[in-house]
Structure 1
Amino acid sequence: MGEQLSVVSLFSGAGGLDLAVERADAEPLASGDFGNGLLRVSVATDYNEPALQTLKANFHDASTLAGDIRAVPTEDILTKAGLRSTEPVLVIGGPPCTPFSKSGFWLEQKRESRDPNASLLDEYVRVVREAQPEAFILENVQGLTYKTHKAQFERLLRGLGELGYNPQWKVLLAADYGVPQLRRRVFVVGRRDGEKFEFPEPTHSGWSEHTRTVDASKTPHVTAGQAFEGLPLMTQASDDEIVDGTYGELAAEIPPGQNYLWHTERYGGRNHFEWRSRYWTFLLRLDPNRPSTTLQAQPGPWVGPFHWENVRTGSGQERARRLRVNEMIRLMSFPDDFKIGGSRANVQRQLGNAVPPELGKAVVRALMTQLGYLNPVSPSHVVAFG
């Protein structure tokens, strides 16, 4: 292994993009291939203590820096990494996506794009300007590209463009890159030399929310059923996994792949709800033959996806169940041995906010190839779980 190239990670969270960086030249994570260690995260930053604990547990060689990025000088970040300006090969990170997520649109300030956290995009530009990396990768929710946030998104692109990085952006579907999840994220990538970055071509194909067109020349999407293969069987569900209460009985009657619409006059369940009166994820059950829908960071008590199989309560009643930690890890394409602690809800919050590593790897690998650090011959992208 030659000299490792240093990476500065901002808004690191659970470290999905960090993991993608450190294993950019590796086979899929489940294979146990760690790659040649071309890239190393020198410093990872976040303000969330559980996220920092996750980073420390999984990235032993990376320094961590806690604090609000708005109060942390770029010089402090570089010093913590043992770097000077122009030395990082990459700056990576996903500013907190809450201001741009559809899940926050019931708040007027979010609908009108007045969330103060949106300024974190400007902090990302500030660090790129002062650290002068060879390239950068910024990731966020698809909602950042919506008309509602046009001013913030254009300011981000303009700020990065004025630095000479020629930023390119694209919304990518995680399932198209071997992740068993229909999760859309926007990536913004730029190079210090101003050369245009070309996004990687999809390696997988299948049905999504918007198309039934399938490219037979590509590997089929990885399904939730395939993702869960080999996981230990657990017949007894913990209390926090059981979907009970007001809609517990209704949820248990919904077939795999269906949601609350099953209980409307147009489907085979009870005529309990009005047609299209709820969000799509309300009482949603996974379909084992398709990728999962987006794993949300902070779902309400009736928001899926829930597992397609029911469990029994202590009194013998059938109920749907929430996903277990090892299942969420699989749906996010993290390795099985990834360490993430805390309550089930805290684990889901970290994973739901993370970049699926296999999706991140596709972008990182493409960038490092175009920069000349990797050979253009890429490894197999077929993800095997277990």
Structure 2
Amino acid sequence: MKVVDLFCGAGGLHLGFQEAGFEIKLAVDSNPIVAKTHEFNFPEIPFFSDDINQLTGFELFNLIEGEEIDVLIGGPPCQGFSTIGKRVSSNFERRTAEDERNKLILEYIRILNQLKPKYFVIENVKGLLTMDKGDFIKGVYKELDKTGYDYKLKLLNMADYGVPQLRERVFIIGNRLGHEVNFPLPTHSENGEDGTFSWENCWYAIQDLVEIKEDKDFNHVPLKHTEKIIERYKLIPEGGRLPENDLPPELYRKNFGNTYKRLSRFKPALTMVPGNDAFPIHPILNRSLTVREAARIQTFPDWMIFKGNRRQQGHQVGNAVPPLFSRILAEHIKKKLLKEEV
């Protein structure tokens, strides 16, 4: 079974499909650092690194050797707007015309129409649902309706599938085979209700890395925090936040943002978003997580090496779909495709 991955990033989505037995025919991303990560980790997978709007139908079919694609996957980025129009259709069209980032969802749908895969998967951030007060997603629905695919959207928490992280993401699944569109059943829940396992804590994923102070080749390099930042970190309890209203004057500043949160060894991690180059704070050490620790929490295997500087590595990890969930999703779709062939 064959897959094309658009806006693939570090490859978390197609890695899970690969582990489930799918063949990745093509990965597409215009980020040159992502291209280096793919060349190092997935040299066997053809990679298209130009802007996706330059990927013509002819070149697309040439790259996949004219083979039928079973699943098209990807996470096209979208950028919101502060103003909205009265008509959803013209509003969506105007926004996709005004901002290149919003055209990317149309590029995904263009390739969906060209490839006509049996299934498709779109992943995106939770904010997609409320962008432009809900008008943008309505515009996406209108474009998908034109494709003839049956599809559904659902907000999923990765912790419900064994990922040691509270991470909510939007998934749209569709098919042209007449199959009922549904999603993998959760395997975990907060307290193990209804026959599921309890959420995984983040500590089991990273505890052995405490013994490794630094390994550049392993993406395990702690940020060099200032003494003032370290003193603030010392005041943050495990699983808690910085007590902003009870700080000594020398440690106070006007805005702390969301970076001053410490993980708990006994709970899933907060969402791995790198922010200002800093992941959340380690459960027991007075520093933020390294890229490798974040990758572990994202369920990337240790053989995956992320290229670029630390900031670029962090963004690749933080923006990825956890491969553990990707595999569960791939197995779910695979069962449906195999049933179709029988």
What's the TM-score once normalised by structure 2's chain length? 0.85
Equivalent-residue separation in structure 2 for 1:336 and 1:289 (angstroms): 23
Instruction: Confirm whether residue 72 of structure 1 aligns to residue 55 of structure 2.
Output: yes
SS where residue 179 of structure 1 aligns? coil
Q: Equivalents in 2 of 1:286, 1:240: separation in Å?
A: 16
Residues 160 and 199 in structure 2, CA contact (< 8 A), matched pair in contact too: yes
Three-state SS of the structure 2 residue aligned to 1:124 is helix
Q: Secondary structure at the match of 2:121?
A: strand
- Could you give the per-residue CA deviations for residues 59-110 of structure 1, whole angstroms, max 9, x where no partner exists? 23211111111222133122112125xx11111111125x25xxxxxx8589
Identity %: 29
Q: Which residue identity is paired with 2:154?
A: K
- Report the residue type matching 1:308 in the other structure: P
Does 1:198 find its partner at 2:196? no
In 2, the alpha carbon distance for the partners of 1:185 and 1:205 equals 16
Deviations 1:272-303 (A, max 9, x none): 7799x754x23111111111111114x126x5
- Which residue number in structure 2 is paired with residue 126 of structure 1? 110
Match of 2:75 in 1: 94
Distance apart, 1:243 and its partner CA: 2.8
Deviation at 1:374, TM superposition (A): 9.7
Residue 333 of structure 2: which of 358, 367, 371 is its match? 367
Please say which of residues 338-347 and 183-192 is displaced more in the overlay: 338-347
Structure 2: distance between partners of 1:222 and 1:193 = 35
The 3 A distance-change label for structure 1 pair 295 and 163 is same
Aligned residue for 1:264, secondary structure, equals helix
Name the residue aligned to 2:211.
Answer: 233
Distance 1:264 1:289, change over 3 A: same
State the distance in 1 between where 2:115 and 2:237 align.
52
1:161 is displaced (CA, Å) by: 2.3
**Cα distance in 2 for residues equivalent to 1:40 and 1:331:** 26
Distance change (3 Å), C-alpha of 1:295 and 1:15: same
Is 1:256–1:308's contact at 8 Å kept on the other side of the alignment? yes
Closer, same or farther: CA 234–339 of 1 in aligned 2, 3 Å: closer
Q: Which residue of 2 aligns with 1:251?
A: 233
For the residues of structure 2 that align with 1:194 and 1:278, how far apart are their CA atoms?
A: 50
8 A Cα contact 1:259 1:282, kept in partner: no
Equivalent residues in 2 for 1:96-111 (5 A)?
Answer: 96-97=77-78, 99=79, 108=82
Worse-matched range after superposition: 128-137 or 154-163:
154-163
Separation in structure 2 between the aligned mates of residue 248 and residue 151 of structure 1, nearest angstrom: 43
State whether residues 164 and 192 of structure 1, in contact with CA within 8 Å, keep that contact through their aligned partners in structure 2.
Answer: yes
- Residues 365/122 of structure 1: CA separation in 2 closer, same or farther (3 Å cut): same
CA contact (8 A) 1:129 1:163 kept: yes
Which residue of structure 1 aligns with residue 15 of structure 2? 19
Change in Cα spacing, 1:49 to 1:373, as seen in structure 2 (3 Å) is farther
User: 2:55 and 2:213 mapped to 1: Cα distance?
Assistant: 48
Task: Report the Cα distance in structure 2 between the residues aligned to 1:325 and 1:51, rounded to whole angstroms.
Answer: 15
User: Shift in Å at residue 167 of structure 1?
Assistant: 1.3
Letter of the 2:225 counterpart: V
Q: 2:124 is matched with which residue?
A: 140
Counterpart code for 1:59: F
Q: What is the alpha-carbon distance in structure 1 between the residues aligned to residue 111 and residue 40 of structure 2?
A: 26
Q: Verify: 1:163 aligned to 2:147, yes or no.
A: yes
Cα distance change, pair 322–43 in 1 and its aligned pair in 2 (3 A): same
Q: Which amino acid aligns with 1:234?
A: I
Map Cα deviations across residues 306-359 of structure 1 (whole Å, 9 max, x no partner).
11223xxxxxxxxx2121232111111011111222222211111111111111
Q: Which runs of 5+ in 2 are unaligned?
A: 85-90
> Is 160-169 or 124-133 further displaced after alignment?
160-169
In structure 2, relative to structure 1, the CA distance for the partners of 1:305 and 1:355 (3 Å cut) is: same
Partner residue, 1:31: none
Contact 1:222 1:291 (C-alpha < 8 Å) held by counterparts = yes
Amino acid at match of 1:141: V
Q: Give the superposition deviation at 1:251.
A: 2.2
User: CA offset at residue 258 of structure 1?
Assistant: 1.3
TM-superposed deviation, 1:242: 3.2
- The C-alpha deviation readout for 1:199-257, integer Å capped at 9, x for no partner, is 11110111xxxxxx651621121111111143361347998513326544212321111
What is the distance in 1 between the residues matched to 2:209 and 2:229? 28
> Given the alignment, which residue of 35, 53, 59 partners 2:42?
59
- The match for 2:267 among 274, 282, 290 is 290
- Report how far residue 49 of structure 1 moved: 1.0
Give the helix-richer structure, 1 or 2. Answer: 2
Tell me the distance in 1 between the aligned counterparts of 2:83 and 2:145: 28
Shift of 1:163: 1.5
Change (3 A) 1:232 1:341: farther
1:344 match:
310
